[in-house]
Amino acid sequence: MTPAVLPHLAIIIVSYNVRDLLRGCLRSVAAAAARTSDRLAVTTVVVDNASHDGSADMVAEEFPAARLIASQENLGFTGGNNAALRWLGFPTTEISDDAPQCGVNADTSASAPRPDYVLLLNPDAEVTGDALWQMVSFLASHPQAAVCGAGLRYGDGGFQHGAFRFPGVAQVALDLFPPVGIRGAHHLLNSRINGRYPAAWWAQGAPFAVDFVLGAAMMVRGAAIEQVGALDDGYWMYCEEMDWCRRFWQRGWTVNALPAAQIIHYEAQSSRQRRWLTQEQLWRSRLRYFTKFAADYPPGALWLIRRLVCAGMAQQARQAERRFAHGEIDGVELAQALSTTTAIARLYKG
């Protein structure tokens, strides 16, 4: 009797200077893969973005079964994931809108079989329990689903939002001008207006459809990647998973959250290393996203978002100057704050 072919999952981990967290992530992946070895074939691909903390050497020495792509430059989150997708045999350009709709596969010819599923996993994340199998099983039993995201928890076990609604003007306003000190602010920030799904939906444990999931733990059907293409490499970091999910929805696929598939996410450990650079990159990516999908928003929305961001940057600059005057920050941080807010405002003025 010919043995059954196991579904093939490729796990992509893009890492930058978080060696110890990466080690914990890879250990959790190895343990999860071992628990499902009779049901699932797992390939792990680590893309090291020119780390200088010995991350690449650690992977080579301690996890020889993992495929290591050691980049000589920092490719960013998008470039790193696309490098791994390219190695796995997927198209790494965005497929035009006149391609076939969901359920009709593109040409899958390649030198090696492409995986059935791909999990984008942050190096500051750890897989727990049977999360890998739960996510694979969901996609296998829901042929219209392109993406599923895990139920995320902080390192202390606290709940973390892992999926959101597509952002609009209200979310931009709340991000720039948070209602600090206002009665009911917590409920507003965790409401539909701010793109959040009810905590009760996550608590009940059943899958539910969402606009997009975080790239921290995002599993994607291989056939959907073949049809829609890889991440848009116009994003260096931030918003790329939001863009990808929107493109899947546009092609007739669905995106879902799986609260029961638990993954620990320590959150933003790489980006915190360069705070002001990442803030500028965040708003640069958001502008690309809003401009790219401007037709999906009400008339004037992009104009209003541009005005809000310029006003928000002016306020942040004034706050930085006040903090410097009160001795709360030094001259170096003030200069970084003013340089960043000026650059972002200039970008949004167009």
The predicted pLDDT at position 273 comes to: 47
- pLDDT on residue 182: 76
**303 CB neighbour count, 10 Å cutoff:** 11
Chain-centre distance for alpha carbon 26: 18
Mind listing the pLDDT tens digit for each residue in 209-233? Answer: 999 999 999 999 999 999 999 999 9
Q: Among residues 182, 253, 175, which one has the least CA distance to residue 211?
A: 253
pLDDT digits (tens, 9 = 90+) for 152-173: 999 999 999 999 999 999 999 9
Computed from CA positions of residues 27, 117, 263, 172, in that sequence, does the dihedral angle turn out positive or negative? positive
Q: What is the CA radius of gyration of the chain?
A: 21
Q: What is the pLDDT of residue 98?
A: 53
What average pLDDT score do residues 20-28 get?
Answer: 98
Q: How confident is the model at residue 125 (pLDDT cuts 50, 70, 90)?
A: very high
Helix (H, G, I), strand (E, B) or coil at 78: helix
Helices 275-292 and 301-325, axial angle in degrees (round to 10): 170
Which of 88, 85, 15 lies closest to 50, judged by CA? 15
Query: What is the tens place of the pLDDT at every residue in 237-250?
Result: 999 999 999 999 99
Q: Which of 70, 164, 86, 162 is nearest to 122 (CA)?
A: 162
Closest of 74, 113, 118 to residue 241, by C-alpha:
118
Amino acid 93: pLDDT: 78
The pLDDT score that the predictor gives to residue 185 is 78
Q: What is the 3-state secondary structure (H, E, C) of 139-201?
A: HHHCCCEEEEEEEEECCCCCEECCEECCCCHHHHHHHHCCCCCCCCHHHHHCCHHHCCCCHHH
Report the pLDDT value the prediction gives residue 135, as an integer from 0 to 100.
98
* Residue of 65, 70, 64 lying closest to 87 (CA atoms): 70
- Say what the pLDDT of residue 269 is: 56
- Chain segment 254-279, per-residue pLDDT in tens: 999 999 999 999 976 555 546 788 89
Assign 105 a pLDDT band (cuts: 50, 70, 90). very low
Q: What's the distance, Cα to Cα, between the start and end of the chain in Å? A: 65
More confident residue, 276 or 301: 301
Contact 237, 130 (CB under 8 A): no
17-21 contacts: CB < 8 A, separation 24 or more? 17/51, 17/52, 17/53, 17/55, 17/270, 17/273, 18/51, 18/53, 18/55, 18/123, 18/124, 18/269, 18/270, 19/51, 19/53, 19/54, 19/55, 19/58, 21/123, 21/124, 21/266, 21/269
pLDDT average, residue stretch 172-181: 90
Is the per-residue pLDDT at 84 higher than 60? yes
CA angle 11, 77, 20 (to 5 degrees): 65
Mean pLDDT of 103-125: 70
* Strands (DSSP E) found in the chain: 8-15, 41-49, 67-71, 117-121, 125-127, 145-153, 159-160, 163-164, 208-209, 212-213, 217-221, 254-265
pTM greater than 0.85 (yes/no): yes
- Residue 347's identity, in one-letter code, is L
Helices (H), 63-130: 76-87
